């Protein structure tokens, strides 16, 4: 029987054979196709004669034809057929999971995955394999490719990325594939990003394993990452390395790591020798939104003050570009590196505001904006009656002091990071990509018309 005819026969005999037949039919090498199909035919014939499916054998350790029959090791073709059968029921399988199912070593499983991957029957990922089928699996559950394509590409009426629940609940065991996430210690921003990552990943059948770091020289991020990838279920990393000098150890470690990695909310070192994908808030465009909002309310004389954060340099650069590119805005002063708890520094900013006669302020971060507003009140001035203000952060502003803010979207950043990582896993050799996500301007009434 020719390979095309047998593919039709298999497609009609069972759902799993249909997927296998489709995959084999699309393999480029005729010689490899013939060999793989021959092995599968042989295994299928053995299963039919024995009247049992090796993948559902009660012993779980070998093809058994009856009670009391001696256990035996699976033949390579049998193992490979069972792997393909499993990937018709679930979209991703780990090496540890397969080794347990086949009662064999992880080395043997990796060898089988390499054979099937070269034949085009599955997609290798770190720590396991992914189905290459573009159709739903045999039990009606969508594959990871289907979910990733629909969930991360569908758009809402407003143009945003739509995440829709998959039509089944996932119970993610400890052997399910995972994404390792290393972010700074919890603050007003990162918990929201992590929560969004968990929601998105769970709908893709993936777990999120997190490790926290500190803005501290003793953080040893490289050691944290090295320990994290010892987990065989982790197939990719999303990390936010330190921006201080000791963060160089982290970048050096990433340069030697073969794990697919996406850096979030960090710019790559200027002269780094190893480039990785990145996802960041597009702060320069956010600053433009703030400038337009000020202009719409008649503000032309605008001061600025920036504290020192991992993203402050990008915000300051965006503001300088605005000031240097237009005559519509005059900026008499711009303070840099002022911490919210620096009473002398905050008082210096307020002194300059009152002396210069600016009508508005762009401030980063939220805490610095709140400190300035409180100091102004002690001087008899209020926001927005006497000074309009926009804060760049938008997470720590309390309801008692509502400020118009530029806020990074934790949902959009999480979606972009996971999507970029999945694309890197599926295509390791593609060009490096750097994704920018515009922040949202949330108008809370702290910018009013010039009086």
Q: How many CB atoms lie within 10 A of CB 286?
A: 24
Predicted confidence at residue 71, as pLDDT, reads 56
Task: Evaluate if residue 189 carries a pLDDT over 70.
Answer: yes
- Between these two residues, 285 and 254, which has the higher pLDDT value? 285
Q: For position 174, what pLDDT does the model report?
A: 73
What tokens appear for 112 in the block? 């089988």
pLDDT value, residue 274: 82
Q: To the nearest whole percent, how much of the chain has pLDDT over 90?
A: 41
| pLDDT value at 60 more than 80 | no
Paired with 303 in beta bridges are 361
Number of residues in the chain = 451
Please report the pLDDT score of residue 396 as a whole number.
66
- Which one has a higher pLDDT value, 444 or 400? 444
pTM of the model: 0.65
Is residue 54 predicted with pLDDT exceeding 80? no
Same fold, 144-277+412-436 and 283-408: yes
Looking at per-residue pLDDT, the higher value among 32 and 243 belongs to 243
- Phi-psi group of 190: left, alpha or beta (phi > 0 → left; psi -120 to 50 → alpha; rest → beta): alpha
What percent of the chain has pLDDT above 70? 71
Residue 106 has pLDDT above 70, yes or no: yes
- How high is the pLDDT of residue 329? 97
The mean pLDDT value for 283-309 works out to: 96
Convert the pLDDT of each residue in 220-259 to its tens digit: 888 889 999 899 889 999 999 887 665 688 888 888 888 9
Predicted confidence at residue 374, as pLDDT, reads 92
Residues 214, 184 contacting (CB under 8 angstroms): yes
Task: Please state, rounded to an integer, the average pLDDT across all residues of the chain.
Answer: 77
User: What pLDDT was estimated at residue 215?
Assistant: 63
CA atoms within 13 A on the CB side of 256: 8
CA dist 443 and 445 (Å) reads 6
pLDDT at residue 219 tops 80: no
Q: Tell me which CATH code domain 144-277+412-436 carries.
A: 3.40.50.2300
Number of H helices, E strands in the chain: 15, 15
**Mean pLDDT within 49-77:** 48
State yes or no: pLDDT of 47 exceeds 90: no
Confirm if 332 and 301 have CB atoms less than 8 A apart: yes
pLDDT higher than 60, residue 150: no
Has residue 291 got a pLDDT over 90? yes
What's the pLDDT at 139? 43
Task: Count other Cβ atoms within 10 Å, centred on residue 337.
Answer: 12
CA distances (Å), 325 to each of 223, 281, 289, 291, 362, in order? 44, 22, 15, 12, 17
Where is pLDDT greater, at 307 or 84? 307
**Residue 389 and residue 403 in contact, taking contact as beta carbons nearer than 8 Å:** yes
* Sequence ranges of the domains in the chain: 3-62+73-131, 144-277+412-436, 283-408
Where residue 271 falls among pLDDT bands split at 50, 70, 90? Answer: confident
Residue 38 has pLDDT above 90, yes or no: no
- Check: CB of residue 282 under 8 Å from CB of residue 437: yes
At residue 405, what are phi and psi to the nearest 5 degrees?
Answer: -135, 155
- Bond from prior residue into 365 cis (ω within 30 degrees of 0): yes
Give the pLDDT confidence score for residue 177 in this predicted structure. 86
- The whole-number average pLDDT for the span 397-413 is 84
Q: Give 3-state DSSP helix, strand, coil % of the chain, rounded to 5.
A: 45, 15, 40
Q: Indicate the class that CATH gives domain 283-408.
A: alpha beta
- Tell me: pLDDT of 439 over 80: yes
Residue 113 has pLDDT above 80, yes or no: yes
Q: Are 416 and 431 in contact (CB under 8 A)?
A: no
For 120-142, how does the pLDDT look when each residue is reduced to its tens digit (9 = 90+)?
778 888 778 887 653 334 344 44
Answer with the residue of higher pLDDT: 7 or 377: 377
Count of alpha carbons within 13 angstroms of residue 46, beta-carbon side: 19
Q: Are the beta carbons of 111 and 66 closer than 8 angstroms?
A: no
């Amino acid at each position: 029987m020719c390979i095309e005819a047998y593919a039709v026969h298999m497609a009609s005999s069972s759902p799993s054979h249909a997927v296998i037949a489709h995959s084999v039919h699309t393999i480029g090498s005729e010689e490899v196709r013939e060999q793989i199909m021959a092995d599968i035919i042989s295994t299928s014939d053995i299963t039919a004669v024995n009247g049992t499916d090796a993948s559902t054998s009660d012993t779980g350790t070998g093809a058994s034809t009856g009670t009391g029959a001696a256990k035996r090791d699976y033949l390579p073709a049998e193992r490979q057929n069972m792997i393909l059968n499993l990937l018709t029921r679930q979209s991703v399988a780990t090496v540890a999971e397969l080794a347990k199912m086949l009662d064999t070593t992880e080395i043997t499983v990796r060898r089988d995955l390499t054979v099937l991957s070269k034949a085009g029957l599955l997609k290798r990922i770190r720590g396991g394999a992914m189905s290459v089928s573009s159709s739903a699996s045999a039990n009606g559950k969508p594959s990871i490719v289907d979910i990733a394509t629909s969930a991360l590409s569908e758009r809402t009426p407003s143009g945003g990325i739509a995440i829709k629940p998959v039509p089944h609940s996932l119970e993610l065991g400890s052997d399910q594939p995972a994404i390792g996430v290393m972010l700074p210690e919890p603050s007003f921003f990162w918990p929201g990003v992590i929560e969004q990552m968990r929601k998105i990943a769970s709908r893709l059948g993936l777990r999120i394993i997190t490790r926290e770091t500190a803005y501290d020289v003793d953080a040893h991020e490289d050691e944290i990452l090295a320990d994290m990838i010892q987990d065989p279920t982790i197939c990719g990393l999303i990390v936010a390395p330190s921006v201080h000098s000791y963060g160089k150890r982290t970048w050096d470690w990433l340069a030697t790591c073969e794990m697919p990695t996406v850096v979030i909310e960090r710019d790559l070192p200027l002269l780094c020798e190893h480039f990785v994908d990145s996802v960041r808030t597009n702060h320069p465009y956010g600053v433009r939104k703030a400038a337009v909002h000020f202009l719409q309310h008649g503000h032309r004389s605008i001061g600025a003050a920036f504290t020192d954060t991992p993203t402050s340099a990008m915000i300051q650069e965006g503001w300088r570009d605005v000031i240097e590119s237009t005559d519509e805005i005059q900026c008499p002063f711009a303070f840099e590196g002022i911490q919210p708890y620096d009473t002398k520094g905050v008082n210096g900013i307020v002194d300059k505001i009152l002396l210069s006669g600016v009508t508005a302020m762009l401030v980063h971060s939220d805490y610095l904006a709140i400190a300035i507003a409180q100091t102004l009140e002690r001087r008899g001035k209020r926001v927005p009656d006497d000074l309009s203000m926009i804060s760049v952060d938008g997470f720590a502003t309390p309801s008692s002091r509502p400020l118009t803010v530029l806020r990074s979207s934790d949902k959009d950043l999480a979606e972009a990071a996971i999507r970029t990582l999945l694309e890197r896993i599926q295509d390791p050799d593609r060009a490096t990509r750097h994704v920018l996500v515009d922040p949202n301007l949330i108008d809370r009434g702290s910018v009013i018309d010039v009086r």
